[in-house]
Amino acid sequence: MTSHSRVRVRYAETDQMGVVYHANYLVWMEIARVDYCRAIGLNYARMEAEDGVVIAVVDVKCRYLCPARFDDEVEIETCVLEVHSRMVHFGYEMRRMPDLKPLARGETKHMFLDRVTLLPTRLPAGHRPLFGLLK
Amino acid sequence: MTSHSRVRVRYAETDQMGVVYHANYLVWMEIARVDYCRAIGLNYARMEAEDGVVIAVVDVKCRYLCPARFDDEVEIETCVLEVHSRMVHFGYEMRRMPDLKPLARGETKHMFLDRVTLLPTRLPAGHRPLFGLLK
Amino acid sequence: MTSHSRVRVRYAETDQMGVVYHANYLVWMEIARVDYCRAIGLNYARMEAEDGVVIAVVDVKCRYLCPARFDDEVEIETCVLEVHSRMVHFGYEMRRMPDLKPLARGETKHMFLDRVTLLPTRLPAGHRPLFGLLK
Amino acid sequence: MTSHSRVRVRYAETDQMGVVYHANYLVWMEIARVDYCRAIGLNYARMEAEDGVVIAVVDVKCRYLCPARFDDEVEIETCVLEVHSRMVHFGYEMRRMPDLKPLARGETKHMFLDRVTLLPTRLPAGHRPLFGLLK
């Protein structure tokens, strides 16, 4: 299972080097992750509001291959590299469209946390099959 | 009563025009506003956590006079233009240091909201004298 | 002539009040402005690269009516309120979709600047008819 | 050689989880990196303007240990893990002050690029001794 997301580079995302500021790729990975969750049937906003569970980033990596520029259209391909009831690990490929030029590759690891206490919890049982987990 | 705050321009705040992206001046005004509140004895973070009152922006204006650049040191002078128990109106002057070149002028209007319901409320009575309000 | 743009609220755009941080509406107005220009046949990125003309914000106003939240879909309606060869003044209406709840109203004024010197210039003559200017 | 930088968490840096949005730690690392360069005698802004050399991020990692919150004071300790004439690798420790609670650990790798072409270049010879490089 992979999902595909699109963003168009905002002027606000550029810096004085004339390219996208590097921290913004993390924002794109998040957009892609929310889309991935939506694609498997998990509404992120609802999980936060109704189940009281947030998905906190605990680790992030990004390798920058080619700078993205203002008004570029970027495709982000997202997959799950590993998942447990307490943790999920995503991988991302970012490419410029339409020439498919690789822009960046990233990974993020996440823990499920209780929204109020911010202490570790488990992915709500009802949502586990969405990630292919048996229980 | 005026307060003075300092920010040094971050690389992240520039855009491909080579100057500070215009939305960041609103962030600086907020830093200055928090400093102003601290200066009169109002801890913003604590008011949110303990009194359950947030200060929501309802109106903002900014006039840009001269672009700020990466690594510039910027001073923000803040004052209260008007205040009621339900609303506060701040004014800001942003200047480059040390030459005092005017960079921007802004105003923000705020309502006090209940943190949970986000409905209008009043500035907690104990904090009103801080703004020179009798009650 | 009006144009319509859509953004979906990013998690990164929220703040601890649980709603969209107010400076992000300025970013949305810019996205809408770029779309407006594209709709009338003016490629913003190309004008910057080829004509060496940037469109700098000199004045911004925003009135916040109702907070937008994570994952909301927001429509921005954009129009030109006034235009000269040296200045353009845009107006924006932001609404939540699909219920059309008004979220915010904004205005921005812009000057055309030489990309290198950042001194005032005129909208390149070839682009003026796009804004309905005779010359 | 290590340098120490301080940032106070901005409201704008929080998200609806009530903590600092994860991409902002990359911005803090950059502030710390600019401070490190200043401490060894390398003016980042001037190198960009005068030598035409920019320091582009090619790789970033961040491990999040404890969430930072609005108004927290954060110290970033920065060191150089490795350096060549074409590449520099920084390490960062972020701690909450004054209790020294570890918040995050990060690393960034950078290449020196020509500001105009964005092609790889070398750290200008005059700056190499600043990083302890012989030539």
Query: For D93-103, what is each residue's pLDDT tens digit?
Result: 999 999 999 99
**% of chain A exceeding 90 in pLDDT:** 90
CA of B42 vs chain A CAs: smallest distance (Å): 25
Query: For D59-110, what is each residue's pLDDT tens digit?
Result: 999 999 999 999 999 999 999 999 999 999 999 999 999 999 999 999 999 9
pTM of the entire predicted model: 0.97
Element (H, E) at A77: strand A73-83
Q: Strand locations in chain C, DSSP E? A: 2-8, 53-64, 73-83, 87-97, 102-114
pLDDT at residue number B110:
98
CB pairs under 8 A between B and D: 28
Interface mutation target, options A9, A14, A15, chain B, most CBs of B under 10 Å: A15
Helix spans in C1-135 (H): 24-40, 44-46
Beta bridge partners of D32: none
Q: Which two tokens stand for residue B74?
A: 């910027």
Distances (CA, A) of B119 to B52, B87, B111, C72: 11, 13, 9, 20
Beta bridge partners of A57: A110
Distance, in Å, from the CA atom of B45 to the CA atom of D27, rounded to the nearest integer, reads 22
Q: How far is CA D85 from the centre of its chain?
A: 18
Number of Cβ within 10 Å of residue D116's Cβ equals 9
In the 8-state DSSP scheme, what is residue A20? Answer: B
Q: How far is CA D99 from the centre of its chain?
A: 22
Identity (one letter) of the amino acid at D36?
Y
Query: For A84-104, what is each residue's pLDDT tens digit?
Result: 999 999 999 999 999 999 999
Spell out which residues of chain D touch residue B69, defining contact as CB-CB under 8 Å: 45
Q: Smallest Cβ distance to C22: which of B24, B26, B115?
A: B26
Sign of CA dihedral C55, C59, C65, C70: positive
pLDDT at residue number B135:
61
The answer to whether the beta carbons of residues D23 and D104 sit under 8 Å apart is no
The answer to whether the beta carbons of residues D6 and D72 sit under 8 Å apart is no
Beta bridge partners of C20: C14
Per-residue pLDDT, averaged over A5-22, amounts to 97
Closest C-alpha among A127, B111, A114, A51 to residue D18: A114
**% of chain D exceeding 90 in pLDDT:** 90
The answer to whether the beta carbons of residues A80 and A123 sit under 8 Å apart is no
Distance, in Å, from the CA atom of C43 to the CA atom of D79, rounded to the nearest integer, reads 44
Per-residue pLDDT, averaged over A17-28, amounts to 97
Confidence of residue D3 (pLDDT cuts 50, 70, 90): very high
CB contact under 8 A, C63 and B61: no
Distances (CA, A) of A32 to A13, A46, A66, B76: 17, 17, 19, 37
Confidence of residue D134 (pLDDT cuts 50, 70, 90): confident
Confidence of residue C135 (pLDDT cuts 50, 70, 90): low
**3-state SS record for chain D:** CEEEEEEECCHHHECCCCCECCCHHHHHHHHHHHHHHHHHCCCHHHHHHHHCEEEEEEEEEEEECCCCCCCCEEEEEEEEEEECCCEEEEEEEEEEECCCCEEEEEEEEEEEEECCCCCECCCCHHHHHHHCCCC
pLDDT at residue number A134:
72
Using 70 as the pLDDT threshold, list the residues of chain B that sit under it.
Answer: 135
Q: Would the ipTM clear 0.90, i.e. be above it?
A: yes
Peptide bond into C98 cis (omega under 30): yes
The answer to whether the beta carbons of residues C29 and C35 sit under 8 Å apart is no
Category of A126 on φ-ψ map: left (φ > 0), alpha (ψ -120 to 50) or beta:
alpha
Spell out which residues of chain A touch residue D22, defining contact as CB-CB under 8 Å: 26, 57, 60
| Chain C: residues touching B (Cβ < 8 Å) | 16-19, 22-24, 26-27, 48, 54, 56-64, 67, 115, 118
Spell out which residues of chain C touch residue D19, defining contact as CB-CB under 8 Å: 16
pLDDT at residue number C84:
93
Closest C-alpha among C18, C20, C70 to residue A30: C70
Query: For B17-26, what is each residue's pLDDT tens digit?
Result: 999 999 999 9
Identity (one letter) of the amino acid at B34?
V
User: Angle B86-B87-B90 (CA atoms, 0-180°, nearest 5)?
Assistant: 160
Q: Smallest Cβ distance to D12: which of C11, C23, C70?
A: C23
Number of Cβ within 10 Å of residue B19's Cβ equals 22
Distances (CA, A) of D46 to A134, B69, B128, D2: 58, 12, 47, 22
Provide the residue count of chain D.
135
Confidence of residue A135 (pLDDT cuts 50, 70, 90): low
Distance, in Å, from the CA atom of B75 to the CA atom of B4, rounded to the nearest integer, reads 7
Looking at every residue in chain C, the average pLDDT score rounds to 95
Q: Smallest Cβ distance to D14: which of C16, C23, C70?
A: C16
pLDDT at residue number D135:
62
Residue D11: is its pLDDT beyond 80? yes
